[in-house]
Amino acid sequence: MVFRFKENSKSIERSRPVSIKRFIHALICIEFFLILLHLFLFLRTNNHYLLKKIIIDGSYYTIPETIIDSLNFSQDANIFNTNLELIRKTLEKNIWIESSSVKIKYPGVLDISINEREPIALIKGKIEKAIDSKGMVLGNLPLSKKSCLPRVDGFSVKEIGAYFENEDMKKILVILQVLQKLSWFDNKCFSIKRTEDGFYLLRFMKKSFDIKISPEKIISQIARLISVFELFPDRIRVSGNRLFFDLTFPSRVIMRPTLEYGG
């Protein structure tokens, strides 16, 4: 009995320092938590961290003031109360914004970078609406941005966010995407439509010429046209008449005044 009593006494004595250490560790953790809590409350209530400025980068077709209004920030908004993921989702509800990133810059600055969808043409009609290279309807453009975007004729305007998915529009988008990559066509005002015989007609306004393109082998046809322009840079207008370039014949370009036949 004596041996067992001593054994138990030793166990009790050894357990006391362990219990004290655990108690001290718990106090330290609680104190650390309280410090973090006070710091968090300080940052959220201190006027130094109020949202003072919003920087928007990448806005060309969208209006920065409209973007800011869509975020519905209060006048006393704190930079630490902002939900960056929610802001990003709100931004991308705008049909013009394809993607975005949102960062906090201290003190009190919200840095927003947006990547806009790029309009490739306007659908002609009473109200012209822009479309991108995928055929999505983006909506109206500010007058200052409309200058020389190609006009696509012969299509009814769809609702914003809808897609043009018919074959004629797909062919037209291919033509526009190829031309968009060529520096010669920069800022050239023209319209494009499908003709009754199944071809596509491009009518350039200021340059005074028309181009007829077949729906087959579009890239090779445009390559032949560019070769002609390089060979005859000053011959795209003859005696004041419009020129007509017919690319629908294999391996050749037929060039003639619009009111004449031949080439």
Q: Kindly report, residue by residue over 169-194, the tens digit of the pLDDT.
A: 999 999 999 988 887 777 778 999 99
**Domain end (from 116, 149, 171):** 116
263 falls within a domain: no
Q: What angle do CA 41, 83, 112 make, to 5 degrees?
A: 120
Min mean pLDDT across 146-150, 187-191, 197-201 is at: 146-150
Mean pLDDT to the nearest integer, 10-31: 64
Q: Could you please report the per-residue DSSP string of 32-74?
A: HHHHHHHHHHHHHH-GGGB--EEEEES-SSS-HHHHHHHH---
Q: Is pLDDT of 164 > 90?
A: yes
pLDDT band for position 4 (cuts 50, 70, 90)? very low
Question: 175 and 213 share a domain?
Answer: yes
Question: 35 and 58 share a domain?
Answer: no
CA distance 70 to 94: 9
202 falls within a domain: yes
Query: pLDDT > 70: what percent of the chain?
Result: 77
- pTM over the 0.75 mark: no
Tell me what pLDDT residue 77 has: 78
Question: 59 and 124 share a domain?
Answer: no
Tell me what pLDDT residue 263 has: 41
Q: Kindly report, residue by residue over 62-75, the tens digit of the pLDDT.
A: 889 989 898 888 76
Question: 136 and 206 share a domain?
Answer: yes
What is the side-by-side strand order in the sheet with 109-116? 53-57, 109-116, 97-105
What is the side-by-side strand order in the sheet with 254-257? 137-139, 129-132, 119-123, 151-152, 190-194, 200-204, 209-213, 243-246, 254-257
Question: 86 and 107 share a domain?
Answer: yes
**Domain end (from 116, 146, 174):** 116
CB crowding 177-192: b at 16 or more within 10 Å, else e: ebbeeeeebeeeebbb
Question: 100 and 178 share a domain?
Answer: no
96: CATH? 3.10.20.310
Question: 170 and 228 share a domain?
Answer: yes
17 falls within a domain: yes
Choice between 89 and 185, residue whose per-residue pLDDT is larger: 89
Host domain of residue 252: 119-257
Min mean pLDDT across 38-47, 77-86, 183-192, 211-220 is at: 38-47
150 falls within a domain: yes
127 falls within a domain: yes
Residues 6+ apart with CB under 8 A from 259: 241, 242
**Domain end (from 65, 91, 116):** 116
Question: 146 and 20 share a domain?
Answer: no
CA distance 249 to 254: 8
Tell me what pLDDT residue 262 has: 44
Query: pLDDT > 90: what percent of the chain?
Result: 37
Q: Is pLDDT of 15 > 70?
A: no
* Sign of the torsion formed by the C-alpha atoms of 210, 214, 215 and 218: negative
pLDDT band for position 5 (cuts 50, 70, 90)? very low
CA distance 122 to 152: 6
Question: 68 and 134 share a domain?
Answer: no
Min mean pLDDT across 26-35, 77-86, 107-116, 254-263 is at: 254-263
Tell me what pLDDT residue 180 has: 86
How many domains is the chain partitioned into structurally? 3
Question: 250 and 161 share a domain?
Answer: yes
Q: How many CB atoms lie within 10 A of CB 9?
A: 10
Question: 161 and 245 share a domain?
Answer: yes
Question: 190 and 253 share a domain?
Answer: yes
Q: Is pLDDT of 25 > 80?
A: no
Mean pLDDT to the nearest integer, 71-85: 80
132: CATH? 3.40.50.11690
